[in-house]
């Protein structure tokens, strides 16, 4: 089964919002073995939407649409489906009741337009919303399907999980399987990574390998096809093992596993607690660490010492160090790491100071110059980096560099005592 995704909304074609729905759907349905041919974004224009639906039904077995199901006047997906499939909208009083109930406790009186959501194309099976108020739609015609979901990510995701996946799995018996595996690395460039694994890539059968760069991360993306789930799984396991053997700890994680998750797991495994002192990253590293549920088990807290006063008062960085070496220096980073570890009583202190730009750079200390320091018991050391890019990207790379420095520290030093990790 091959399908297209259509995302509806002028905010998308105007570039005012980023389409995160299409990747979610492609990934989730991909896990079930359904293959996304193509993703299209279309403005709120009934003719263009209807044309895109017709075209997708020609090219593929079906289409999954998001957006344009809300109550407001620019929500035109219901009408466009009727246009493309030559059917009529029908008012469903029972759906109106459900919608009323859904809004009930919050908004009284209910705006009249809300009831636009109680219309369904004839022959459609509604998906009753458990979050939000917009019903989804499943429709079959001449062996093809149209699935239409709200544009609000949570509402869409809920319907994919509870209704769309089961419906597709009942309708289609998959006779080809595919498996995706992402190896996440801290390699520096795409070309250097490709160079070091080119022979493996060339020798693999039934496994396609892509190399993709993100800020502070380069991924090896493996896609294996097979006649059965087991065959695809075996192919991907074999490929994965060869890359792991070659690349070793450069691979920090797999699939959705983030650097902060891996670091969290390492800290937990070795009963270590962490505190953070951040200057230029301004809380980003702490935010990443606490993105992980349960991070309170190992994360004591952080100090964002954005000003020199905060570095002196909260982290005991000496006035002399700041005056002689400057706020962006190995000495200051080290003092911050020791300071935060002592102040918060954690096992490890990690500190970041640097110049994120766009202003504040000099020829001696350019924008992108970052020092990261780590302090643990009697050990403390610092690394120096120079990153390129916008303020956002420099901050992101700095946070990742700090997390990766911590990861290597635990792998190299603690693992030797505590047992195998990788």
Residues numbered 315-354 forming contacts with a copy of itself, rule: CB under 8 A = 343-345
Q: 164 or 201, CB closer to a copy of itself?
A: 201
Contact positions with a copy of itself (CB under 8 A) in 218-237: 219, 221, 223
Handedness of CA 183, 186, 189, 192 (dihedral sign): negative
* Of 38, 96, 98, 244, the one binding a copy of itself by CB under 8 A: 38
Q: Is 70 helix (H, G, I), strand (E, B) or coil?
A: coil
Shortest distance, position 299 Cβ to a copy of itself, whole Å: 5
Taking contact as CB under 8 A, which single stretch among the options 6-14, 89-97, 225-233, 369-377 is the one that binds a copy of itself?
A: 6-14
Contact positions with a copy of itself (CB under 8 A) in 148-177: 152, 154
Is residue 19 within 8 A of residue 40, CB to CB? The reply is no
**Per CB under 8 A, does 247 bind a copy of itself?**
no
Contact positions with a copy of itself (CB under 8 A) in 377-396: 388-393
Beta bridge partners of 299: 274
Q: 145 or 299, CB closer to a copy of itself?
A: 299
* Of 20, 227, 362, 413, the one binding a copy of itself by CB under 8 A: 20
Cα-Cα-Cα-Cα torsion 19, 130, 161, 213, nearest 10 degrees, comes to 30
| Alpha helices by DSSP H, 226-329 | 229-247, 259-269, 284-290, 308-315, 319-325
What is the pattern of x (binds a copy of itself, CB under 8 A) and - over residues 69-98?
-xxxxx------------------------
Size of the site for a copy of itself (CB under 8 A): 106
> Does residue 109 have a cis bond before it (omega within 30 degrees)?
yes
For residue 400, give the nearest of 184, 226, 248, 127 by alpha carbon: 184
C-alpha–C-alpha distance, residues 116 and 157, integer Å: 22
**Per CB under 8 A, does 211 bind a copy of itself?**
yes
Contact positions with a copy of itself (CB under 8 A) in 280-319: 281-287, 289-291, 293-296, 299-307, 309-310, 313-314
Handedness of CA 27, 33, 34, 40 (dihedral sign): positive
* Of 191, 230, 323, 386, the one binding a copy of itself by CB under 8 A: 191
Is residue 371 within 8 A of residue 386, CB to CB? The reply is no
**Per CB under 8 A, does 257 bind a copy of itself?**
no
Contact positions with a copy of itself (CB under 8 A) in 95-134: 103, 106-107, 111, 113-114, 131
Q: Is 299 helix (H, G, I), strand (E, B) or coil?
A: strand
* Of 236, 250, 276, 403, the one binding a copy of itself by CB under 8 A: 276
How many CB atoms sit inside 10 A of residue 388's CB? 10
Tokens of 139: 């429709």
**Per CB under 8 A, does 201 bind a copy of itself?**
yes
Shortest distance, position 73 Cβ to a copy of itself, whole Å: 8
Taking contact as CB under 8 A, which single stretch among the options 192-200, 262-270, 318-326, 379-387 is the one that binds a copy of itself?
A: 192-200
Q: 386 or 422, CB closer to a copy of itself?
A: 386
Contact positions with a copy of itself (CB under 8 A) in 403-422: none
Q: 257 or 291, CB closer to a copy of itself?
A: 291
**Per CB under 8 A, does 208 bind a copy of itself?**
yes
Tokens of 305: 């010492």
Shortest distance, position 94 Cβ to a copy of itself, whole Å: 20
For residue 6, give the nearest of 72, 62, 73, 79 by alpha carbon: 62
Q: 52 or 373, CB closer to a copy of itself?
A: 52
C-alpha–C-alpha distance, residues 160 and 156, integer Å: 6
* Of 52, 80, 204, 374, the one binding a copy of itself by CB under 8 A: 52
C-alpha–C-alpha distance, residues 242 and 201, integer Å: 10
Q: 299 or 409, CB closer to a copy of itself?
A: 299
* Of 87, 128, 182, 421, the one binding a copy of itself by CB under 8 A: 182
- Please list, residue by residue across 88-127, b when 16 or more beta carbons sit within 10 angstroms of its beta carbon and e when fewer do: ebeebeebbebbeebbeeeeeebeeebbbbbbbbeebebb
C-alpha–C-alpha distance, residues 322 and 334, integer Å: 12
Q: Is 139 helix (H, G, I), strand (E, B) or coil?
A: strand
């Amino acid at each position: 089964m091959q399908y297209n995704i259509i995302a509806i909304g002028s905010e998308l074609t105007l570039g005012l919002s980023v389409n995160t729905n299409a990747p979610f759907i492609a990934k989730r349905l991909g896990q079930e073995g359904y293959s996304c041919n193509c993703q299209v974004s279309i403005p709120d224009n009934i003719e263009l939407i209807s044309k895109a639906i017709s075209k997708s039904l020609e090219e593929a077995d079906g289409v999954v649409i998001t957006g344009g199901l809300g109550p407001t006047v620019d929500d035109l997906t219901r009408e466009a489906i009727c246009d493309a499939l030559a059917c009529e909208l029908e008012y469903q009083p029972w759906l109106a009741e459900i919608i009323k109930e859904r809004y009930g406790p919050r908004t009284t009186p209910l705006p009249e337009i809300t009831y636009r959501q109680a219309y369904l194309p004839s022959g459609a099976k509604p998906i009753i919303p458990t979050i939000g108020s917009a019903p989804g739609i499943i429709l079959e015609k001449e062996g093809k399907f149209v699935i239409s979901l709200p544009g609000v990510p949570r509402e869409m995701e809920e319907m994919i999980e509870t209704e769309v996946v089961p419906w597709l799995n009942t309708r289609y018996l998959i006779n080809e399987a595919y498996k995706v595996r992402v190896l996440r690395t801290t390699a520096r460039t795409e070309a250097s990574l490709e160079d070091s694994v080119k022979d493996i890539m060339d020798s693999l059968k039934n496994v396609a390998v892509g190399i993709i760069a993100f800020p502070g991360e380069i991924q090896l993306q493996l896609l294996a096809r097979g006649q059965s789930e087991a065959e695809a799984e075996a192919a991907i396991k074999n490929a994965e093992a060869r890359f792991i053997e070659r690349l070793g700890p450069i691979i920090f994680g797999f699939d959705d596993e983030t650097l902060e998750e891996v670091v969290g797991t390492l800290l937990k495994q070795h009963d270590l607690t962490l505190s953070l002192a951040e200057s230029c990253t301004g809380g980003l590293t702490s935010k990443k660490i606490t993105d992980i549920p349960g991070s309170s088990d190992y994360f004591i807290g952080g100090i964002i010492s954005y000003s020199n006063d905060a570095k002196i008062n909260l982290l005991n960085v000496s006035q002399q160090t700041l005056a002689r070496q400057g706020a962006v220096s190995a000495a200051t980073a080290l003092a911050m790491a020791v300071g935060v570890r002592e102040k918060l009583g954690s096992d490890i202190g990690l500190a970041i100071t640097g110049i994120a730009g766009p202003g504040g750079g000099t020829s001696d200390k350019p924008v992108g110059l970052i020092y990261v320091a780590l302090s643990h018991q009697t050990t403390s050391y610092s690394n120096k980096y120079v990153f390129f890019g916008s303020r956002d990207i420099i901050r992101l790379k700095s946070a990742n560099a700090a997390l990766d420095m911590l990861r290597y520290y635990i792998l190299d030093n603690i693992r030797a005592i505590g047992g195998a990790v990788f």
